[in-house]
Chains A and B, each alone.
Chain A
Amino acid sequence: MRQGSRAAASVLPALLCAGCAGAQSAFDTGGAQALGLARLMIFIMAVCAAVWLAVMAALAFALWRRRQEATEPLAIDARRQRRMSLVVGGSVAATVVIIGLFTVTSFWVTRSLWAGDRDAVKIDMRGYQWWWQVTYRDGNQAFTTANEIHVPVGRLVRIRLTADDVIHSFWVPSLTGKQDLIPGRTNEVSFVAERPGVYRGQCAEFCGLQHARMAMQVIAQSPQDYDAWRQSQLAPAAKPSDPEQVFGEQVFLSKPCAACHTVRGTSATAQLGPDLTHVASRSTIAAGVLETTRGSLAAWIADPQTIKPGNNMPMVALSPDELNAISAYMASLK
């Protein structure tokens, strides 16, 4: 049984999505939770498929079996009636057994998903229209980042979920099932990533205009790489090194940018938008909309409303020099 479901767990994804590795898929599993879910899903689907085939076969037989010439519609054979009752009753009993089996299996899988672990990586996640604020509480010091979660391979990760504005839903299908982020409530989700890699996720609860552009990435790294990343994130922002970046920092701090964003180590400490202290270390900006490059940063700052209409970042009037400088500064925030 176990062996069989393991084989099926490897065959089915290949059938379902040939060559979609690294994407977000419930069957391209990266950890124990997702694997447990995938096995349960394959088990239930296999049983259901078998039942469906059996019912279709019965229907086909009922329609096309050989029968005697037409009789009166009301001429009912009592003995045949009894036989039919037995078959129908048996089928109903089988239905009861199957759903009983599904219910119990589901219950056990649910329990296995919530294994506790004192050593877990603790993360707070807050959903905003339309990005994710991520605050690490791993160790003594906390730091905040956005739209990208780094986790050490093999260690349990526990994420507390809440939302600032409307309901969002955390979902990285290759790692575990989804859980909602709800204003006024705190939920929790936990998972282990067992192989290094990038796992994509995106908001799964309709949250308004740009619900479609609210992605995130989970980057699973070796414990050493994770620690290095954590140390670098704990550090305040890099001091600008060349004159253009220095000018860029001045523009950032004097224009409306600083009214919403934080760059640790400067006077910008607002919390309305993503923390930009290490924005250039993240692989995407605007919750997965653009790959992080100096060019995309410039494009985004120049006209956020064309790239992601309706998002909460206003277009700030900047001269070409200011735009150049601020994107250079942003690109330096590794």
Chain B
Amino acid sequence: MTSEAIPLDVRDRAIDDDTLRARLAKTWATPRGLWGALTTVDHKIIARRYLVTAFIFLALGGILAVLMRLQLARPESRVLGPDFYNQIFTMHGSNMMFLFAVPVMEAMGVYLVPLMVGTRNIAFPRLNAFSYWMYLAGGITLWLSFALNMGPDVGWFAYVPLSGPEYGAGKRADFWAQMITFTEVAALAVAVEIVVTVFKQRAPGMSLNRIPLFVWSMLVTSFLVIMAMPAIMIASSTLIMDRLVGTHFYNPAEGGDVLLWQHLFWFFGHPEVYIIFLPAVGMVSSMVPTFARRPIFGYLPLVLALVATGILAFGLWVHHMFVTGLPRVGESFFTASSMSIAVPAGIQIFCWIATLWDGKPVFKTPLLFVLAFLFTFIIGGMTGVMVASVPFDTQVHDTYFVVAHFHYVLIGGAVFPLMGAVYYWFPKFTGRLMSERLGRWVVGLVFVGFNLTFFPMHILGFEGMPRRVYTYQHDVPWAALNLFVSLSSIVLTAGFLLFFIDAIRSARRGVAAGDNPWGAATLEWATASPPPPYNFAHIPVVDDANPLWSAPETLTVAGGLRVDRRELVVTSVAEARPEARESSPANSIWPLLTALATTVMLIWSIFSPWAVVWGSIPIAIALTGWFWPKGTPEDEA
């Protein structure tokens, strides 16, 4: 120990405020320079990396979308060949789902959940660092394979037999399957961290009925991740085994079954939609009360709606398989279950409108995004009810109607709230506000551009245009609408560009925000912007669901934590009564080394099954280093 002046076991109440902050800063700091960057376990730094990486993938996926619109603008166009086009739409879908949408939502959770529940770091912070490195490696793997013309070309759903050993030549589908492994490991790690953080690290007094709704949404999302991901892990692993070592899980000639893949994939794939969507509604439930200047109406129904959505999410995967010839009575059951998801969605929409009605809305950019969300998402929800109907679905399944539907749900339902959330929490992340003037332009361009781009796709679907076609002939009447869609996508692209420009500019030159620029009610606004490495100098005590509104000047705090080592308060699950002081791990290089070893093994295993044997040795060494007792105070506890 180098702490020459600090006596052992110093508690926060024993010293004055300035000394306390200085000592906490020293204890929780991330060292400057490369070493600090590689070893940090600060949830805010890791979340920031996650966010920046995810938005880079959004931009890359957006470029692919623009390329597709370029190709489809005219019939029989030759801008892209069929092989390249099929790689591009596969990359677009896989990238947006696995490298943008899920990680960006988890990143928001990694940043905000510890702040919102009033703790100093996320649970298992080294696992958190490991998860980011795994995600980064998975993303780079996928994009490198694409750059080397080995990009997957079997769709983000990779249906067998097309992705199987006989028809999916080369290593393309293997790269896809292995990218899944990377991102699933990363997502599972974050999910476990969030569940434990929410259950055991809430500020004293934050009983279940005082948990902010965004935290509830991340909790439900994390359970969805934990329960849905094993299905896709099994699916992608068995696919790799079929391709690499000649098993026959999906080979009907040898007793395998091609529909098994679809069941496994959609048992994951449908909850996946809610893994993206639930954090977004959590964001909406955070922004609405702030800008309505009123506590959320219907807190309990909103929580129950989140939980109900999470449970129902596992009961409707078959609506992706309505035209595969499954028994019709069974299909009708899935019609009912798929449509019933409209009930929790409706509850949330009605509660938000009621909150706005009873409040006094302040029309700042985040609220404008919420309004764009309501307009757009409800259309997406309606078309979702339509595709849940078996007969309706037989006409629109795998057409541009479905393309329109899920972009309404994913962009309207998740990306609009996310962009609003970026405007909303940007001052907390950076200490600076984004531009209100540019923000209005962004909302306008993205909202108008989105609807002009995607609404006509519903009609294209009715007119018989299937998805995933690299071109269409002159004898079908789709040319005019497709050209219109392609031109409209320019407006949408301009909106996203302006969003990126505003974010980059504001990070450097935005107006200083202060702790709580919107006058919001939740704990993340009770600390500095950006928060210090230790988040809170004093752990807040909560006696209300809107702590900063009920006690704006005099937030009660708890004391008794040591300042010479990383400590946080562990509380009980239901009542959040303080139970113990728990140490929180210090910075470490081992998560990075473990991620590197795992990366080598996973990529090697695309080419040889022996990688699983020999590649696990470096992983074992790295894990041994990770868990070796080092005699630091954090490790002793």
Binding site for B on A (CB under 8 A): 16-17, 19-20, 23-27, 36-37, 40-41, 44-45, 48-49, 51-52, 55-56, 58-59, 61-63, 65, 67, 70-71, 73-74, 76, 80-81, 84-85, 87-88, 91-92, 95-96, 99, 102-103, 105-107, 109-110, 113-114, 129, 161, 165-167, 169, 171, 173, 176-180, 182-188, 200-212, 215, 288-289, 309-310
Q: A203 and B466: CB pair below 8 A?
A: yes
Q: Are A99 and B293 in contact (CB-based, < 8 A)?
A: no
Q: Which residues of B contact A102 (CB under 8 A)?
A: 339, 385, 388-389
Give the shortest distance, in Å, between B349 (CB) and chain A (any CB). 7
Our pick among A56, A161, A184 for the contact of B253 (Cβ within 8 Å) is A184
A residues within 8 A CB of B463? 16-17, 20, 23-26
Name the contact of B394 in the complex, choosing from A99, A176, A203 (C-beta under 8 A).
A176
Give 11 A-B pairs besides A44-B389, A58-B353, A206-B154 with Cβ atoms closer than 8 angstroms: A16-B459, A106-B390, A166-B162, A166-B167, A167-B258, A173-B395, A173-B464, A202-B464, A204-B466, A206-B155, A211-B468
B584 → chain A closest CB, angstroms: 34
Which of chain B's residues have a CB closer than 8 A to the CB of A92? 343, 346-347, 350
Give A43 Cβ to nearest chain B Cβ, in Å. Answer: 10
Say yes or no: B361 contacts A95, CB within 8 Å: no
Is B351 an interface residue when CB atoms closer than 8 A count as contact?
yes
Question: A85 contacts which chain B residues (CB < 8 A)?
Answer: 298
Cα–Cα distance between A179 and B347 once the two chains are bound (Å):
35
Measured CA separation A15–B24 after assembly (Å): 67
- CB within 8 Å of A: which of B423-479? 459, 462-464, 466-473, 475-477
Other-chain residue from B252, B349, B359, B476 in contact with A55 (beta carbon distance below 8 A): B349
Q: Which of B505-556 contact A (CB under 8 A)?
A: 521, 546, 549-550
Q: Which residues of B contact A205 (CB under 8 A)?
A: 159, 398
Check B467 against A177 for contact (C-beta < 8 Å).
no
Cβ-based interface call for B170 (8 A): no
A185, B351: Cα distance in complex, Å: 47
Candidates A41, A56, A129; contact of B375 at CB < 8 Å = A56
Partner of B464, one of A23, A36, A114, A182: A23
Which one of A48, A96, A110, A187 has the highest number of Cβ atoms from chain B below 10 Å of its Cβ? A110
List residues of chain B with CB under 8 Å of any chain A CB.
81-83, 86, 153-155, 159, 161-162, 166-167, 252-253, 257-259, 289, 293-295, 297-298, 301, 323-325, 328, 331-332, 335-336, 339-340, 342-343, 346-347, 349-351, 353-354, 356-361, 371, 374-375, 378-379, 382-383, 385-386, 388-399, 459, 462-464, 466-473, 475-477, 521, 546, 549-550
CB–CB B382/A37 < 8 A: no
Q: Find the A residue at minimum CB distance from B392.
A: A41
Q: Which residues of chain A have C-beta atoms less than 8 A from B340's C-beta?
A: 99
Could you tell me if A184 and B468 are in contact, using CB atoms closer than 8 angstroms? no
**Complex contact A73–B162 (CB within 8 A):** no
Given the known inter-chain contacts A48-B382, A103-B336, A176-B394, please indicate yes or no for A211 contacting B469, CB distance below 8 A: yes
Please indicate the chain A residues that have their CB under 8 angstroms from the CB of B293 in the complex: 70, 73
Given A24-B476, A179-B323, A73:B295 Cβ within 8 A? yes
Chain B residues within 8 Å of A99, by CB: 339-340, 342-343, 385
7 residue pairs, one from A and one from B, having the closest CB atoms: A177-B394, A184-B252, A24-B464, A62-B357, A187-B325, A212-B469, A106-B389
Set of chain B residues within 8 Å of A76, measured between Cβ atoms: 294-295
Residues of B within 8 A of A84 (CB): 297, 354, 357-358
Nearest A residue to B363 via CB reads A63
| B92 CB to nearest A CB, Å | 13
Q: List 27 A-B contacts (CB under 8 A).
A: A17-B477, A25-B462, A37-B395, A40-B392, A51-B382, A59-B371, A67-B360, A73-B521, A76-B295, A91-B346, A95-B346, A99-B343, A106-B389, A110-B331, A110-B390, A113-B391, A165-B167, A177-B397, A180-B325, A185-B258, A205-B159, A206-B154, A206-B159, A206-B468, A210-B82, A309-B81, A310-B83
Complex Cα spacing A309 to B84, Å: 12
Q: B252: which A residues are within 8 A, CB to CB? A: 183-185
CB distance from B232 to the nearest CB of A (A): 19
Q: How far is the CA of A165 from the CA of B167 in the complex (A)?
A: 8
Contacts of A167 in B (CB 8 A): 159, 161-162, 258
Q: Which residues of A contact B549 (CB under 8 A)?
A: 73-74
| Other-chain residue from B82, B331, B398 in contact with A310 (beta carbon distance below 8 A) | B82
B347 & A88 in contact (Cβ 8 Å cutoff): yes
In whole angstroms, what is the CA distance A327 to B335 when docked? 52
Q: For the complex, give the distance between the alpha carbons of A207 and B473 in Å.
A: 18
Q: Distance in Å from the Cβ of B240 to the closest Cβ of chain A?
A: 19
B158 CB to nearest chain A CB (Å):
10
B468 touches A107 (CB 8 A): no
CA gap between A36 and B390 in the complex, in Å:
13
| Chain A neighbourhood of B349, CB < 8 A | 55
| Residue among B81, B335, B350 facing the most chain A CB atoms (10 A cut-off) | B350
B295 proximity list for chain A (CB < 8 A):
73-74, 76
